[in-house]
Amino acid sequence: MSTMIQYVLMIVIVLLTLTTIAAWLIWLERRMLALWQDRYGPNRAGPFGLLIVVADTIKLFFKEDWIPPFADKTIFVIAPPIIGTTVLMSFVIIPFAPGILIADLNIGLLFFLAMSSLGVYSIVLGGWASNNKYSLLGALRGASQMISYEVFMGLSLMGVVMLSGSFRLTDIVIAQKGCWFIITQPVGFVIFMIAGIAETHRLPFDIPEAESELVAGFHSEYSGMKFGMFFIGEYMGITLISSMVVTLFFGGWLGPAFLPPLVWFTLKTFVFILFFILLRASLPRPRYDQLMEYGWKILLPVALLNLIITGGIVLMMNK
């Protein structure tokens, strides 16, 4: 019974922490973008504009929750929660510190890839159910982008699996005690990072939204809290990819003993969240055809080459 209570408490803590972080990332992103672009940023609602999150939340709750009469109402309502659900399910297998995780699955990495694959249904169903040409185009772009870059993401992780000998994330972290995998798998890290940005469809890969071309892409017809679910899902996705990068390539909770493991994990993750924001502040959006060509003509051959070289090195070391 005590184990069950412990699991429930862990789930509640992780859920509350993630939703809170996702909400405050709205303020952090606006503040950092303003700093890097030499602007003021939010500075009216509360000290340093901190209450801008509260203002945005109130606005979303009181906006008219409108469903277009021409939309497929059932699927239109079902689509937004899918992205948040799949991201939250992915956090189940992430070890935040020794003993601080929900499920220590021996197929943890495969579970993460499966959940990230399911996230595409949110975009596809939302765009299709809207019965809007701009939304449908955004959904098609998002589906092809996410499905394509999942291939490169999976291939980039196989080197980590070969070096650690396990799909379990705790084993992968422990395998980095002597040397972080960023040293032995720098190519895998770069490919995973690029694929992660494409998976979360963040700038410069926010082509499914592309305001200048598609109004707002797959969520053009959404308002109120339905739009808010897409919005929060995107920020939780940033946190997820940052956490996975830290776990797989930067030693997870490992660090000098003067700070607790959970603090090291949090600090490392925060650095990569800032990196996601910096990309938005500095890089332009490529054309859609350039994005797809870049993936299949460059990332795929490089990922396969990295896999072959890593396999050869592991084979030689085990002889």
Per residue in 135-169, pLDDT (tens digit) is 888 888 888 888 888 888 999 999 999 999 899 99
Domain range annotation of the chain: 69-317
**Model confidence band, residue 225 (pLDDT cutoffs 50, 70, 90):** confident
User: Cα(100)–Cα(97) distance, rounded to whole angstroms?
Assistant: 5
As a whole number, mean pLDDT of residues 42-49 equals 83
Task: Give how far the C-alpha of residue 150 lies from the chain's centroid of Cα atoms, to the nearest Å.
Answer: 12
Is the pLDDT at 264 greater than 90? The verdict is: yes
One-letter amino acid of 198: A
As a whole number, mean pLDDT of residues 62-84 equals 85
For tokens 């709750």, the residue is 61
3-state helix/strand/coil string of the chain = CHHHHHHHHHHHHHHHHHHHHHHHHHHHHHHHHHHHCCCCCCCCCCHHHCCHHHHHHHHHHHCCCCCCCCCCHHHHHHHHHHHHHHHHHHHHHCCCECCECCCCCCCHHHHHHHHHHHCHHHHHHHHHHCCCHHHHHHHHHHHHHHHHHHHHHHHHHHHHHHHHCCCCHHHHHHCCCCCCHHHHCHHHHHHHHHHHHHHCCCCCCCCCCCHHHHCCHHHCCCCHHHHHHHHHHHHHHHHHHHHHHHHHHCCCCCCCCCCCHHHHHHHHHHHHHHHHHHHHHHCCCCCHHHHHHHHHHHHHHHHHHHHHHHHHHHHHHCC
Other C-beta atoms lying within 10 Å of the C-beta of residue 258: 7
Its pTM stands at: 0.91
Note the pLDDT of residue 316. Answer: 87
Who wins on pLDDT, 224 or 157? 157
Q: In whole numbers, what is the pLDDT of the chain averaged over residues? A: 87
- Beta-bridge mates of residue 100: 97
Note the pLDDT of residue 212. Answer: 62
Note the pLDDT of residue 199. Answer: 85
3-state helix/strand/coil string of 11-23 = HHHHHHHHHHHHH
111-142: per-residue pLDDT in tens? 999 998 888 888 888 888 888 888 888 888 88
Note the pLDDT of residue 222. Answer: 83
As a whole number, mean pLDDT of residues 62-73 equals 82
Note the pLDDT of residue 80. Answer: 87
For residue 43, the SS3 value is: coil
170-209: per-residue pLDDT in tens? 999 999 998 899 999 999 999 999 999 988 888 788 776 6
Note the pLDDT of residue 2. Answer: 66
Note the pLDDT of residue 20. Answer: 85
Is the pLDDT at 1 greater than 70? The verdict is: no
One-letter amino acid of 14: V
